[in-house]
Chain A
Amino acid sequence: MRRPVLVMVALVLASGAVAAVDRLTPLDPLRTAFSTLYGTAEQALYGTAERVSSEATSIKEASSPQEATPLKEELEAENARLRADLLLARQQAADSGQKSRLAEGVAAHVVAFGRSQTFTLDAGSEDGVRPDLTVVNAGGLVGRVSWSGPSTSTVTLITDPGTTFGARMAGSGEMGLVTGLPERGLLRLRLLRADAEVRIGDVVETLGSANQRPYVSGVRIGGVTEIEQTPGAFTRTVLVRPFARLSAPGLLTVVIPDRAR
């Protein structure tokens, strides 16, 4: 009767000690080891599922699945590079006169899902992915890299309520701050000017951060779906539906604005 209680108390104390150590000096070597081990397993499972589904639907562009895989990877890498180039080119056109920088995009897929607005990508620091980089897909902004291991990284979605970032209306240039509303899959945009003119369907894009991290400027975020009526408030609040389908994001691009070559 006493021994089980002692065992339990000892294990709870051990958990507490691990948590305390992790708070003081993050246990990143342990995280890296698990990300290597489990990240590889997640990638392998994702790859198997992909192969099975592509054989089932049979993409017949290449003669065999063995040829189709490298072709697909090549196309995905090219897609990522072009998307990143386009974003950076657009922004350089906006603030013209700046010397051109090399932008690069890394293609990535979601291999595992977290409970709280996060997921794992199959690209990590070996591919050049670092924390605080912009992640986009064909629809628009998806999130930012919040942690990177050697071969996998963690993305925090824009609907995470813990992060706030700058945004502007694509047409009028009105500026504001975006916060996530995960329970509705929407974003709340607080426009700094209370009398700013907004209509349903207006496009919201990122304002951009210093050094393009975590967010590159001019990425489409979503469309206004609801305007909250708050008479007398200092800011104007609207709800925004993200363009990117966050529950099934498909092919993603991690934008690397200043890759050292």
Chain B
Amino acid sequence: MRRAVWCVVLVTLVPLIQVVALNRLPLGGPDLVLLVTVWWALGTEPARAAGFGFAIGLVSDLVPPVEHTIGIGAGVLCVTGFLCAMARRPAIVAVAVPAALVVEAVLELALGDTTLGSVWAELPGAALWTLPIGMLATVRRRKPRSPLVRGRRA
């Protein structure tokens, strides 16, 4: 029950925080929506992670001033969440974050929502911000969980 409440709070508020506070940082700031999706996926099962990614992606597709085809973020974050939950290893962040950013940019380019010039201007900054924060967050997340995992294995 508490998890469900948290899920709704994150899905509705994180895309808002992204546009109000983070995107104005130099180099575009971190992609918090993507980070939260990965972080949530690492603590849940694949089907729920996919659902969470879909929901938060759909909201972030619709929060102004985002101007691309509705459904791009939903699809990308759904797959990202699913794969992270399947992998169940925090190290997946190192692959999932850049992959999600690149796939989203490629889809936007393919649908004509953006231009190569914009992608060149945004993608490096987004990766520079998002990847280190993702690594730090997952390292912190692993610590309290590791004794539990070891206990199960023993």
Contact = CB atoms under 8 A, between A and B. Distances in A.
The yes or no verdict on A and B being binding partners is yes
Interface of A: 3-5, 7-8, 11-12, 14-20, 22-23, 27, 30-31, 34-35, 38-39, 41-42, 45-46, 111-120, 146-147, 149, 152, 154-156, 160-162, 180-183, 247
Interface in B14-71: 15-16, 19-20, 23-24, 28, 45-47, 50-51, 53-54, 57-59, 62-67, 69-71
A112 B23 CA distance: 8
Contacts of B85: 4
B114 A162 contact: yes
Given A12-B78, A38-B16, A115 B62 contact: no
**Residues of B contacting A: mostly:** helix
Nearest to B24: A113
Interface residues of B, number: 44
Given A111-B20, A115-B23, A11 B65 contact: no
A180 B118 CA distance: 9
A42 B50 contact: no
Given A112-B64, A115-B28, 10 more contacts: A8-B79, A11-B54, A11-B75, A46-B20, A112-B19, A115-B126, A116-B118, A147-B65, A152-B64, A162-B115
Contact of A19 (B15, B70, B118): B70
Nearest to A161: B117
B98 to A, nearest CB: 16
A15 B57 contact: yes
Contact of A11 (B59, B78, B118): B78
A76 B120 CA distance: 37
A183 B120 contact: yes
Given A113-B24, A116-B67, A160 B74 contact: no
Nearest to A110: B24
Contacts of B126: 115
Given A8-B50, A182-B121, A16 B75 contact: yes
Nearest to A185: B121
